[in-house]
Structure 1
């Protein structure tokens, strides 16, 4: 699943905010999950989100005007796709605020 979240920050500010807030990712999700983040370069972050017995791998790309989240959603969670997308849209935008 690919989710694009628009932003209006310049790239350097967006990078700074993403890096600063990545360590707080679990708190941003609401404490119901554990989150491990790793930056692969200035504009790419890998995330592993563990909740309710599932680990979901995500790739986050900081583009010029959007934050793009690619989620490797297991087939067994297909029924919750819209709910998960909504949570990602809501919470991922907070990385850049």
Structure 2
């Protein structure tokens, strides 16, 4: 498996407000995966684990919420690893908009 796509997204919302925004907008974040469809999600403390079904593949992701940033990791299967730079770009863009 390729290295995960990693992005740190700064914010000024505080941990609780950032977590609430993410909880309400996880479907928008899932749009970063090409061909993404069904989303499964669960919270463990301040970390959101979600999986997106895309092109017959499962894309596992984690968003860890801190007071001033969100640390995101997306594990792309080999078939989707070709899109890593695009996923990184979209994640940074959509994440920043969500946390504004």
Same fold (TM > 0.5): yes
| Residue equivalent to 1:29 | 31
| Residue equivalent to 1:72 | 75
Gaps of 5+ in 1: none
Q: Does 1:82 align with 2:100?
A: no
Gaps of 5+ in 2: none
How far residue 92 of structure 1 moved from its aligned partner, in angstroms, is: 2.8
Mapped to 2, the partners of 1:82 and 1:54 lie a distance apart of: 18
Following TM superposition, the consecutive aligned residue runs of length 4 or more in structure 1 with deviations greater than 3 angstroms are none
How far residue 51 of structure 1 moved from its aligned partner, in angstroms, is: 1.8
Superposed CA RMSD = 2.4
Mapped to 1, the partners of 2:48 and 2:91 lie a distance apart of: 15
Mapped to 1, the partners of 2:36 and 2:15 lie a distance apart of: 30
| Residue equivalent to 1:18 | 22
Mapped to 2, the partners of 1:59 and 1:27 lie a distance apart of: 11
Larger helix percent: 1
SS across alignment from 2:83: helix
| Residue equivalent to 1:2 | 6
Mapped to 2, the partners of 1:33 and 1:45 lie a distance apart of: 18
Mapped to 1, the partners of 2:15 and 2:96 lie a distance apart of: 15
Q: 1:90 to 1:58 in 2, by over 3 A?
A: same
